[in-house]
Structures are given as structure tokens and as C-alpha cells.
Homo-oligomer: A and B are copies of this chain.
Amino acid sequence: MADRTLVRLQDVAARAGVSIATASRMLSDPDYGGRAALRERVLAAAAELGYRANPHARALATSSSTNVGLVVHDVRDSYFAMLSGGVISVAEREDLLVSMVCTYRDPARELEYVKRLIGQRVRALVLAGSAFRDTAHNAAMRAELAAYQESGGSVVSVTRGRDIGHLVQIDNIGGMRGLAGAMVELGHTSFGVVAGPLRLLAVRDRLQGLRQGLKDHGIVLSRDDIVYTDLSREGGLSGAQTLMSRPNPPGCLMTLADVMAFGAMSWLRSNGIAVPDEVSVTGFGGLPAAVDAVPPLATVEIPLERVGETAMDLALRPPSPRHVVEVEGTLARRASAAAPR
């Protein structure tokens, strides 16, 4: 924008009859002493003129901006929308602006955006897109983040996989373990798992927890019990189709995300397979929509908003000492999962 309609500090100073140095101090430092009369004149002038400091000039002078970067997979996915809501609400409280980018789970894209956000001199970076299992990519990210942190930036990751910055660790393993155990306790013995791509650490963790939960009760998942699709509604739909079209369909269909469960239930409904009478279905995440699903979706509820708030809170802390906040999920037993007939 071609400025010059906007008032500058100089305008305020002139109107108040002080130097810009004084005006600057009065305006930006509430603890600055100074003559009360001057202070009032400056404040009044600023108010009358509708003065707002140019953040770019300020950022340049102080080498510190008032923006934070938020990296998610996709806003359109409720999981990330909820989380973003938490981040944004805390940022607003702190007078910070959130720049949001979507990676669509593409490592190259993630790296590029992180570089861009760092290039933008954001004060903090909240990385909430799932981490990848990709050594080269992780090394590149690490290098980038380390340099950024070195230069004063704050890094917070949601999900493990980066040994740098603060961490909000969602208990994917424990949550899934508990859910799987609950399914066995319900009486299930045959399982079908609709998983996402193994390159996502969240997928690996949830899968591990699931396996563990079954194993706790002596059930071992075989290779064939798992189908790998996309961590999305469509993935859940096609995964359900694959598993349920087999000669011996499972009695309990566990998906790794609520959206996948929605897709699976949609397929089951279209194909006249009753939930939970013929097959139980579970999700993970605890999206608001899970409650309204029919039947209501059994899942692991993650307090996503709180995760976002916590992440943003940590982003405000100095990088050292490093904080790790564990967030546990809550088992939500609902009608989509019941004892097998």
C-alpha cells in the first residue's frame, strides 16, 4: 500500500510539540516516566490522529516482530481448525497476529513455508502439521529451526519428531492403546484397521498404541488386518470398503482419525451394513462432529483447542528451559462401538 495517508510518529510528535524520541518513549513504554503534561499531550495527539506505529519500522528497529507463524496440514480439516482456534485465541490475547499456512502434508511444502515464515521474521513458529518420517527432510527442518531459534525465534511443535523447541505432545500411543483395549473388553476379537500413510509419525504412533492395546489382551494384529490409505474421509471410506469386502470382514473397524471414521460409516451406511450391530467403528481425535454422528462415534477425545492454546503459550516462553507438555486423550465410549453380536 502506498502509505502517506497514515500518520507517522513524527506527526504525533509535531502536534504534541515534542521530539519523536520522546513521543516514541511515551507511546511505547508505559513505565517511562517523563513529565505528566508532556505524556498527556502525546497520548492525546496520538489518539486524535489515530496513530498506529508502523510495525515494519518497529520490527526493523527492534528486530522483533509481532507476528507468529502457524503451520498446519489443512484448515479445512476440523482437527486443525480446532487447534488453530486455540492458537489464535491466545495470540489475540497477547496482541499477536497469526499467519497461517497449510502444508497438505507435503514435506517440501512444509520446509518452504517454514523458511518463508522465518524470512518474515515471525517471532514464533507453531508447527502443528504432523511430522514426517523422512530423514533428509527432518535434517533440513532441524537446521532451519536451529538457526531460527539461535537468532531469537521461538519454536513449538505439536507432536514429537523434532528435538528442538518446546513440545506439546499429544498422547497418540496411550490414547489408541486405551481405545483398542476397550474394544477387546467389549468382546471384539477380529479387527480391521484403516491407517494413514506410515510416513506420518502420528500414524505410526497411533498404530503402535493400537497394537499394544490389543496385545495387552493377547490379540496380535496381523499384516493383513491393516489397510493403509489417506488420513481423510475418503481414505476412511475406501479403507472400509477394502476391509469389509473381504471374505471374513472384521467385527471392529478401527480408524486412525475421526474423519476416516466418518468416511467409513458413510460407506457402511451406503452398503447396508449396520453400525454397531454388524461392525463397530472407532475414530481418533474427538472432533465436535463425532458427537453428532449416527451412531455417535466412539473415539479418543483430544482437547484440540487446549492443545492450540498450550502451544501458543509455550511459544511465548524463552527457548530454554525446554518445555514438554503431555496432553492425554479421553476415551469416549459411544454407540458406534458395542459388543459384537
Q: Which of A55-63, A179-187, A245-253, A321-329 is near enough to bind chain B?
A: A55-63
Whether A100 contacts B88 in the complex (CB less than 8 A), given A151-B3, A233-B288, comes out as yes
A74: B residues at CB distance < 8 A: 85
Number of copies of chain A assembled together = 2
Interface check A4, CB cutoff 8 A: yes
Task: Tell me which residues across on chain B come within 8 A of A54, comparing CB atoms.
Answer: 60, 119, 121
Q: Which residue of B lies closest to A116 (CB)?
A: B97
Q: Which residue of B lies closest to A58 (CB)?
A: B56
> Which of A131-139, A211-219, A261-269, A309-317 lies at the interface with chain B?
A261-269
Instruction: Give the contact stretch, choosing among A19-27, A34-42, A289-297.
Output: A289-297
A330 neighbours in B (Cβ, 8 Å): none
Checking B65, B89, B151 against A5 with a beta-carbon cut-off of 8 angstroms, the contacting residue is: B151
Q: Closest residue of chain B to A294, judged by CB? A: B294
Count of chain A residues with a beta carbon within 8 Å of a chain B beta carbon: 62
Within 8 Å by CB of A56, from B65, B92, B292, B305, lies B65
For A78, list chain B residues within 8 Å (CB).
76, 78, 81
A64 in contact (CB, < 8 A): yes
A107 on the B face (CB < 8 A): no
Given the contacts A60-B56, A99-B67, A2 and B85 also touching, CB distance less than 8 Å: no
The chain B residue sitting closest to A6, CB to CB, is: B151
Minimum distance in angstroms from A121 CB to a CB of chain B: 6
CB-CB under 8 A from A81, the residues of chain B are 75-76, 78, 81
A1 in contact with B292 (CB, 8 Å): no
Taking the nearest CB of chain B, how far is it from the CB of A298, in angstroms?
Answer: 16
Write out the residue numbers on chain B whose beta carbons fall within 8 Å of the beta carbon of A303.
none
Q: Which single member of B2, B99, B123, B152 contacts A64 (CB below 8 Å)?
A: B2
Binding site for B on A (CB under 8 A): 1-6, 52-57, 59-60, 63-67, 74-76, 78, 81-82, 84-85, 88-89, 92, 97-102, 115-121, 123, 147-148, 150-153, 233, 262, 265-266, 269, 288-289, 291-294, 305
8 residue pairs, one from A and one from B, having the closest CB atoms: A52-B119, A1-B152, A294-B294, A5-B151, A2-B152, A76-B85, A56-B59, A81-B81
Q: What are 14 A-B contacts defined by CB distance under 8 Å?
A: A1-B121, A5-B151, A52-B116, A55-B119, A56-B121, A76-B78, A76-B85, A76-B288, A88-B101, A92-B101, A97-B99, A233-B288, A262-B289, A262-B292
